[in-house]
Chains A and B, each alone.
Chain A
Amino acid sequence: MKMLINVAETVVADALRGMAAAHPELTVDVDNRVIVRRDAPVPGRVGLVSGGGSGHEPLHGGFVGPGMLSAACPGEVFTSPVPDQMLRAAAAVNSGAGVLFIVKNYTGDVLNFDMAAELAEDEGIQVAKVLVNDDVAVTDSLYTAGRRGTGATLFVEKIAGAAAEEAAPLERVQALARQVNENSRSFGVALSACTTPAKGSPTFDLPPGELELGVGIHGEPGRERRAMMTSHEIADFSVNAILEDLNPRNPVLLLVNGMGATPLLELYGFHAEVTRVLTERGVPVARTLVGNYVTSLDMAGASVTLCQVDEELLRLWDAPVKTPALRWGV
């Protein structure tokens, strides 16, 4: 496997150096692995901290900036960051109005953010938390670590970020974040496994004629394997899996997300099929994003995320945002 890297041990640090050079509007602490918006802490504003394993770019570092995250903590590839990073980030963005941790439901992320929250409280920083768990592919949460947090993370970060920018208090920002999560569902498919730099070969075996249904955003395989399907069939399967669980009466935000190695040509074609199914099922789409937002290194495939919105959530979604990977209204 050929990769545009130096050595596996430094891929995250190297990427952060590049990010620092490309985005002078951010403060990138390469040694301690924390990305902070340059004007933090913003007086009177709740700080928003998220983070998770690297390899999902632009999540989360690409979403740091006015109107979205105050700081992001990138871990090793597909590995949760450590509490020290989160504590440092919380301290850097805390203006006294408190900090919201946005945590994807993976055991490592949950445990490390819990430890960081304790440490932050010890230092007098008020911390609230929201857990993102939108992945309908995890069917029986009784026998698993619970639903994974995937594409909805972007919706939570954007809408909570807009609320924080408007000086909403911590409890309100947290409540909105929870509302977004509760109204969001995702489903992902993989056409190929990804290759982590540390391992250097695909993380699981996926024969050319087959696909994985219900994958998460890491190298882990999905729930079910089938013979390769058309974009039309994959859209039917994915959207129906979501609508079995979420029955939207309001319009939805739609994210058609690439896993890293699927070209926009395919993603737009897939998006056409997804909107076809939504139209057939009578679900109106309020806003759409198509592209690579929550990736899995070089995995081929895509995920669909829907978020049912009311007027308030839609207004906050439309509010100005200025980050490396999401930018409008400014």
Chain B
Amino acid sequence: MLDAEFFRRWMTATAASVDREAERLTALDSPIGDADHGSNLQRGFTAVVTALEKEAPDTPGAVLTLAGRRLISTVGGASGPLYGTLLRRTGKALGDAAEVTEEQFTDALRAGVDAVMALGGAAPGDKTMIDALVPAVDALAESFGAAKTAAEEGAVATTPLQARKGRASYLGERSIGHQDPGATSSSLLIGALMEARDE
């Protein structure tokens, strides 16, 4: 069973991972975006950790809802609403339960990913965060480790694609050959699930 403490650790581990990888995310965002993905997410997840330390919500749903709200309020760009919606809608789908099963979490995360697709209008293959999140949710039924691998592979697999959403889409064919920064940061979020469990 996963409790509020697990989800708090998940957010903390994501923040640490984004901190470590911020420069890489920004570097990935330079050739096809505007070179700020790392610093924007860093600001957002730092705010999430600060908010969770202050409020300490006592259900998994409340942890993720609060995290999502903080991201929307601090990140800006497209990443703020997209990541914010992902966590907020996942949190809402978890409801008021004090503990949730991994299956319930998988279903909730799928609802969150669906909400991101609806908001951003992106489908798999558009070279966005969806390309890491959809395979991750599919693999989550198996294990956190499988989800991490699927997300990482999904992110790498965006390299040969042509972007159809977001700022990279303006490059047309020139977006080909670059790994998508949003798919990469999504793989960090999914990868942090393992760390949250290990603690």
A226 within 8 A of B: no
Determine whether the beta carbon of B167 is less than 8 Å from that of A76. no
With A76-B40, A143-B164, A220-B33: A112-B169 Cβ-Cβ less than 8 Å? no
> How far apart are the CA atoms of A84 and B84 in the complex, in Å?
13
- Mark out the residues of chain A between 100 and 148 whose CB falls within 8 Å of any chain B CB in the assembled complex: 106-108, 111-112, 114-115, 137-138, 140, 143-145, 148
Stretch at the interface among A159-167, A176-184, A197-205, A313-321: A197-205
Determine whether the beta carbon of A76 is less than 8 Å from that of B36. yes
B77 within 8 A of A: yes
**What residues of B have a CB within 8 angstroms of the CB of A138 in the complex?**
170
**What residues of B have a CB within 8 angstroms of the CB of A223 in the complex?**
170-172, 174
B72 within 8 A of A: yes
A301 within 8 A of B: no
* A residues whose Cβ falls under 8 Å from a Cβ of B: 8, 53, 75-84, 106-108, 111-112, 114-115, 137-138, 140, 143-145, 148, 196, 198-199, 203-204, 216, 218-221, 223
**What residues of B have a CB within 8 angstroms of the CB of A8 in the complex?**
39
A-contact bits for B3-42, CB 8 A (1 contact / 0 none)? 0000000000000000000000010001111111001100
> How far apart are the CA atoms of A196 and B171 in the complex, in Å?
19
A-B pair count, CB < 8 Å, reads 115
Residue of A nearest to B75 (CB): A82
Determine whether the beta carbon of B34 is less than 8 Å from that of A196. yes
Determine whether the beta carbon of A78 is less than 8 Å from that of B36. yes
Determine whether the beta carbon of A78 is less than 8 Å from that of B34. yes
Determine whether the beta carbon of A203 is less than 8 Å from that of B76. no
B61 within 8 A of A: no
B151 within 8 A of A: no
**What residues of A have a CB within 8 angstroms of the CB of B106 in the complex?**
none
Determine whether the beta carbon of B172 is less than 8 Å from that of A140. yes
What 10 A-B pairs have minimum CB-CB distances, sorted nearest first?
A144-B169, A108-B77, A111-B81, A108-B78, A107-B78, A79-B77, A79-B76, A218-B34, A219-B34, A198-B39
Chain B interface main SS type: helix
Determine whether the beta carbon of B73 is less than 8 Å from that of A145. no
Contacts A198-B35, A199-B36 given; 20 further ones with Cβ under 8 A?
A53-B77, A76-B36, A79-B75, A82-B73, A82-B76, A83-B72, A83-B73, A107-B120, A107-B165, A107-B167, A138-B170, A144-B164, A144-B172, A145-B170, A196-B34, A198-B26, A199-B35, A204-B31, A220-B168, A223-B171
**Most chain-B Cβ atoms within 10 A of its Cβ — which of A84, A138, A198?**
A198
> How far apart are the CA atoms of A173 and B168 in the complex, in Å?
33
Q: How far is the CB of A59 from chain B (nearest CB, A)?
A: 16
B80 within 8 A of A: yes
Determine whether the beta carbon of B120 is less than 8 Å from that of A203. no
> How far apart are the CA atoms of A76 and B78 in the complex, in Å?
12
Interface residue from A78, A114, A143, A148 paired with B172 (Cβ < 8 Å): A143
Residue of B nearest to A114 (CB): B81
Determine whether the beta carbon of B164 is less than 8 Å from that of A216. no
Q: How far is the CB of A90 from chain B (nearest CB, A)?
A: 16
B119 within 8 A of A: yes
Residue of A nearest to B166 (CB): A107
Interface residue from A80, A148, A216 paired with B78 (Cβ < 8 Å): A80
With A83-B72, A145-B166, A203-B35: A220-B77 Cβ-Cβ less than 8 Å? no
> How far apart are the CA atoms of A107 and B85 in the complex, in Å?
14
Q: How far is the CB of B22 from chain A (nearest CB, A)?
A: 10
**What residues of B have a CB within 8 angstroms of the CB of A106 in the complex?**
78, 167
Q: How far is the CB of A13 from chain B (nearest CB, A)?
A: 13
Determine whether the beta carbon of B170 is less than 8 Å from that of A148. yes
Interface residue from A81, A140, A144, A218 paired with B76 (Cβ < 8 Å): A81
Determine whether the beta carbon of B30 is less than 8 Å from that of A108. no
Could you list 30 examples of A-B contacts with CB < 8 Å?
A76-B36, A79-B36, A82-B73, A82-B74, A82-B75, A82-B76, A82-B80, A84-B73, A107-B166, A108-B76, A108-B80, A111-B80, A111-B81, A111-B82, A112-B76, A112-B80, A114-B81, A138-B170, A143-B169, A144-B169, A144-B170, A196-B34, A198-B35, A198-B39, A199-B35, A219-B35, A220-B32, A220-B34, A220-B168, A223-B174
> How far apart are the CA atoms of A8 and B35 in the complex, in Å?
13
- Mark out the residues of chain B between 154 and 182 whose CB falls within 8 Å of any chain A CB in the assembled complex: 162, 164-172, 174
